[in-house]
Structure 1
Amino acid sequence: MTFYPTDRLALFIDGANLYSAAKGLGFDIDYRKLLDEFKKRGVLVRAYYYTALVENEEYSPIRPLVDWLDYNGYRLVTKSAREYVDSQGRKRWRGDMDVEIAVDMMEMAEACDHLVLFSGDGDFRRAVEAVQRKGARVTVVSTVKTQPAMASDELRRQADNFVDLNDLADIIGRPARLPRYIQETRATLPNDEADEAADA
């Protein structure tokens, strides 16, 4: 990654996209390490995290993360997820944050030298092009190491830099949490047998 110590940086994290990319690569993001890493690479002006939340749900698995981020240096941008029924009749939720990310990138391009977009969504190509015309450099962080690749070819070509998330795994990652039954099995079995149980 090409960063200069005097770069004014802003991070734009598409929460759902980054989660899917990291999960596909087999690790979890450590958001404290992520923030610390980019504070070393320049003057961090803002770190945005975007996610849709299911309202009126008794327990949301993302709520503890969102609360932690909100208290630990991230600017949370959320909206209510919309409910829909898929073709199999299952209840699903949709919460696209593309417009919010694009608008914030355009606004922050005035105040920053370098924008870092954590998403591989090709819909951001025009937004990246627009902020580049304002003079900001753009680094895209996503991955092409999953099947299918999470990063669109058009977005990678438009960005000034592309960083594969897999290359950051040792810096900003931690091992993925395994289901409890696998953790318990691994604690009681020799290593080879535990690995076989995890693969089962």
Structure 2
Amino acid sequence: MGSNFRVGVFVDAENVRYNGGYQMRYDVLRRFAAREGGILQRLNTYMAFDAERAREDIEYRKKAYAYQQMVRDFGWKITVKLVRRYTDENGNVTTKANADLDMAVDAMLQADRLDQVLLVTGDGDFLQVVEALQNKGCRVELIGFKNVSRQLQQEVDAFYSGFLIPDLLPISYEPRNEWGKPGSCVRGVCTKWFPEKGYGFLRILDQISPNLWITDPREAGSPYVSVFCHANELAEEVTEDLLMNRETVLELYVNESDQKDNGLVANNVRLAFSVNR
């Protein structure tokens, strides 16, 4: 892409938080959005804040403000949506802090000065927004974690699982993790499996790159890496049916192969996410 290629990012933070993306790193998201060398024209995120709780819970208030400041330090504009409480006729209290409308309106108003829009959400309510943005000439990409609308995935120009983007969602029990390096913990998908032979191949995204479309690890310039996996390394919950489903996300450790130069093998392969669960 040229240096004048303008990118806008719009994050539905509450949807992400409640659907598998808790602790998503905004610095990595920014790096992903800029992977093709474009200008990051807009970096918008929409967060909920419970003012009533903040008045009573000092710890909540401190953490919320500290988190917002950290995100701002990475160059993001935060639109804060106050949590509202509603009481039904039976006295049940529900809370709501929906930022869908704000995010949709901002995306539409700012689209005339953007070439590409990256939406971070799984909410199918953005389907018409995607269509409108595309009609304005914008390329629309989507990042989601769990419960991502199938229609939304099919409507955008490209969908990326947030689980598979290196370091976007940290491995909580591996704080010093170096994604893709021997001994590191990563997430990937199964591309080939041979039940009769008891082994197959997994694929991981090794680095954030403009060449995400080169999905074959054998091709020059591909940011993907093939990892050999023996059936003995699979957790009991990782069934053959799940392996054959490309939407199944696996979590695993990678190590250097003793038998193949520069090859990687998978260890301790377990289920991270599947649409069937």
TM-score tier, shorter chain, comes to 0.7 to 0.9
Matches within 5 A, 1:49-198: 49-56=45-52, 57-58=54-55, 59=58, 60=60, 61-85=63-87, 91-143=93-145, 146=146, 150-168=147-165, 170-176=166-172
**For residues 170 and 12 of structure 2, what CA distance do their matches in structure 1 show?**
19
**For residues 76 and 18 of structure 2, what CA distance do their matches in structure 1 show?**
20
**For residues 91 and 113 of structure 1, what CA distance do their matches in structure 2 show?**
43
Counterpart in 2 of 1:29? 24
Matched AA of 2:163: N
Matched AA of 1:131: L
- Change in Cα spacing, 1:90 to 1:63, as seen in structure 2 (3 Å) is farther
1:39 equivalent to 2:37? Answer no
TM-score by length of 2: 0.54
1:71 is displaced (CA, Å) by 3.3
SS at match of 1:167: coil
Deviates more, 1:51-60 or 1:154-163: 51-60
- Change in Cα spacing, 1:46 to 1:20, as seen in structure 2 (3 Å) is same
Matched AA of 1:151: V
Contact 1:53 1:78 in 2 (8 A): yes
**1:122-165 deviation line (CA, Å, top 9, x unaligned):** 0000011111111001001113xx4xxx1111111111111111
SS at match of 2:112: coil
- Change in Cα spacing, 1:87 to 1:117, as seen in structure 2 (3 Å) is farther
**For residues 84 and 115 of structure 1, what CA distance do their matches in structure 2 show?**
34
**For residues 131 and 164 of structure 1, what CA distance do their matches in structure 2 show?**
21
Show structure 1 runs of 4+ deviating over 6 A. none
SS at match of 1:135: coil
Greater helix fraction, Structure 1 or Structure 2: 1
SS at match of 1:174: coil
**For residues 93 and 112 of structure 1, what CA distance do their matches in structure 2 show?**
34
Which ranges in structure 1 are unaligned for 5 or more consecutive residues?
179-200
TM-score by length of 1: 0.73
- Aligned alpha-carbon RMSD (Å): 2.4
**For residues 125 and 155 of structure 2, what CA distance do their matches in structure 1 show?**
12
Larger Rg: 2
1:66 is displaced (CA, Å) by 1.3
Which ranges in structure 2 are unaligned for 5 or more consecutive residues?
175-277
Counterpart in 2 of 1:186? none
**For residues 162 and 32 of structure 1, what CA distance do their matches in structure 2 show?**
20
- Change in Cα spacing, 1:138 to 1:20, as seen in structure 2 (3 Å) is same
